[in-house]
Amino acid sequence: MKKLYFVFALLATAAMLMTACSPSAPAQPVSAEQTQTQFDNGEKWNYAYIEQVPPIMMRDPLIEMLGQTDEPMPYYYEEVAKLSGHSCMVVAAAWTMTRLSLEQLYPNGEVPVRGQIAIQAPGAEDEWNIGVFGEVMAYITGASPKTGFSGSIFAKGNPLTVRRNKMLYTEEPVGTAPPKMEWIFTRMDTGKSVAASWNIALVQPPINEKVLTEPGDKLASGTASPEEAAKFIKEWNDAALYLLENAGKVDGLVTVRVLE
């Protein structure tokens, strides 16, 4: 059976390579059974860093209240990559700002608590990539916009179960340049707040507007050569990895400051 799956994998790969340069070619269907087998065998990501990032440990009082676990749970970077549909420097920045902010708010190894954190976004949810940041941060912390869990009828007596309106966006775009955008994380039981930011200009290799509108557009439209596609994909992932590995090492790449 394993040999049969291997043959299917080779055939699917060959088909994708043959159609890769045709912008009008439809996506090739992939067997769900075949894909499940590959993931079960550890054949997941083409870039290993996505599953090698250490998890963020969180407690969730709602899950604990319902008897579904008594222990802190790991939240993994590969999960936010799935949530966002990809890994990139924005997803990596959102993950890293959240991790470092939680370390400031819950020092000395204390496990952060979902539902106990409020986040103020630096703009509107449909401004630039602010909504993408917010989704990653909400997944980890439980801080949600107006669509989050209200506590329902049974759980409102415990404010930690309420997730709604703990991720706050501005009503209108504010026009702040990305390097100056600050996300405010507040621990609600202590009132302690930190401001987190990152500087896109310091990421290496640079993924700027020129890169996105020229080779990026060719990749998306299916007109990139194999060499152009490989170069763009490598630099895209290298930028995400650079941010994950160098936050706290490169001055100004990711900054978290305590608010008085």
Give the model's pLDDT for residue 11.
36
Q: Where are the beta strands (DSSP E) in the chain?
A: 56-58, 73-75, 117-120, 167-168, 183-187, 193-198, 254-259
> CA-to-CA distance for 210 and 231, rounded, in angstroms?
15
Instruction: Tell me, yes or no, whether 48 lies in a domain.
Output: no
> CA-to-CA distance for 143 and 121, rounded, in angstroms?
11
Q: Which helix (H) or strand (E) holds 240?
A: helix 226-246
> CA-to-CA distance for 73 and 249, rounded, in angstroms?
27
Per-residue model confidence as pLDDT tens digits over 122-177: 999 999 999 999 999 999 999 999 999 888 877 777 888 889 999 999 999 999 99
| 99-108, 195-204, 208-217: the lowest-pLDDT one | 208-217
Question: Which long-range contacts link 141-148 to residues 24+ away (Cβ below 8 Å)?
Answer: 141/58, 141/98, 141/102, 141/112, 141/114, 141/117, 141/185, 142/58, 142/60, 142/114, 142/115, 142/117, 142/166, 143/117, 143/118, 143/119, 143/167, 145/169
Instruction: Tell me, yes or no, whether 234 lies in a domain.
Output: no
> CA-to-CA distance for 77 and 245, rounded, in angstroms?
13
> CA-to-CA distance for 98 and 202, rounded, in angstroms?
19
Instruction: Tell me, yes or no, whether 163 lies in a domain.
Output: yes
Instruction: Tell me, yes or no, whether 72 lies in a domain.
Output: yes
**How do beta strands 193-198 and 167-168 pair?**
unpaired
Strand partners, 257: 195
| High-pLDDT (> 70) share of the chain, % | 83
Instruction: Tell me, yes or no, whether 249 lies in a domain.
Output: no
Say if CB 57 and CB 73 are below 8 A apart. yes
Give residue 253's pLDDT band: very low, low, confident or very high (50, 70, 90).
very high
> CA-to-CA distance for 178 and 197, rounded, in angstroms?
9
Total domain count, the chain: 1
Residue closest to 214 by CA, chosen among 224, 227, 226, 205: 224
Instruction: Tell me, yes or no, whether 231 lies in a domain.
Output: no
| 13 pLDDT higher than 70 | no
Say if CB 125 and CB 134 are below 8 A apart. yes
Provide the mean pLDDT of the chain: 87
The token pair at 71 is 């222990």
* Rounded (5°) CA angle 100-105-108: 90
| 56 pLDDT higher than 90 | yes
Q: What is the pTM of this model?
A: 0.84
Give the model's pLDDT for residue 162.
87
Instruction: Tell me, yes or no, whether 125 lies in a domain.
Output: yes
| 22 pLDDT higher than 50 | no
Range of the domain at 155: 55-200
Instruction: Tell me, yes or no, whether 33 lies in a domain.
Output: no
